Amino acid sequence: MTTSAGAPNPFDAMFASRHTVLRRTDGSAQQWPVHRWCDTDSAADDLDRQFDTLVADRCHGATIDLGCGPGRLVDELVTRRLIALGVDSSTVAVAMARARGVTVLHRDIHGPLPGEGRWTTALLIDGNIGIGGAPDRVLSRAAALVRPGGTVLVEIDPAVEHIEYEEVRVEGDSYASTWFPWARIGLLGAESLCHGCGLTILGTWEHAGRQVVEMIRP
C-alpha cells in the first residue's frame, strides 16, 4: 500500500501491528485485512490465496505491482519464474518484502520507475486504485508503465457503483494517523476512467466477493 507524496505514511504502524481499521469522517470504520496483505500463515485463508493465484494467472510477462505492501504477489510471480517488481512507500512494508527475498522499491508510484512503458502487466490490487484520492491519476500512471498490448489489473469495490471520494485515517489499538484522501471505485467508475487513460476493458472477473477489471493498452 502507498499514499500520495508529501505526507507521513499512515501504513507503517499498520504493517507493524497488523491490526487496523479504516475510519471515515462519518465515524464508520472498516476492518482492513492486514493479515491478507502480509500473507501470514496463521491468518490468510484459502479464499485469499485462491484470489492471489487467479491474479497471478493473468500476469503473462514482466509485472510491476503498484502499492505492493509486503510483496506477497511479487513473491508469487517470482516463484512462477516471471520478472516482477514491487513498489511501495511504506518503510515497514518494504522491509517485510525484502525480508522475504523479493525485489521491492521504496518509492512513490508517481516517481521515476524502471522500465517505464515496457512492463507487460501492472497491478492495482487491494484497493490501490484509491491512492491519494485520485484514481484517474493512479490509473494513468499504471497505463504509462505498460507496453502497447500490456494489461492493467484493477481490483474494484463491488459495493460501489461509480466513484466515491473520501477522507480517511488508519487506526489501531494505540495509534491513529492523520486524515488523508482516498477513493473507492466500482465498475461504472472503472469504465469511465479507463477511456481517459487510453485503456480498454477486456473483461471482469470475481472470486469470493472480490472483483477485478482487466484493461489493455491498445
Mean pLDDT by 10 residues, the chain (218 residues): 56 75 90 74 70 96 96 96 96 93 96 98 96 97 98 97 94 86 96 95 96 97
> What's residue 218's pLDDT?
95
> What's residue 38's pLDDT?
76
pTM for this prediction: 0.91
Cell representation of residue 108:
512513490
> What's residue 4's pLDDT?
44
Q: Is 182 helix (H, G, I), strand (E, B) or coil?
A: strand
> What's residue 139's pLDDT?
98
CA 13 to chain centre: 18
What is the spatial distance between Cα 101 and Cα 76, in angstroms, rounded to a whole number? Answer: 12
187-196 and 135-145 are packed helices; what angle lies between their axes, rounded to 10 degrees? 60
What is the spatial distance between Cα 154 and Cα 139, in angstroms, rounded to a whole number? Answer: 9
> What's residue 57's pLDDT?
98
> What's residue 44's pLDDT?
52
> What's residue 39's pLDDT?
67
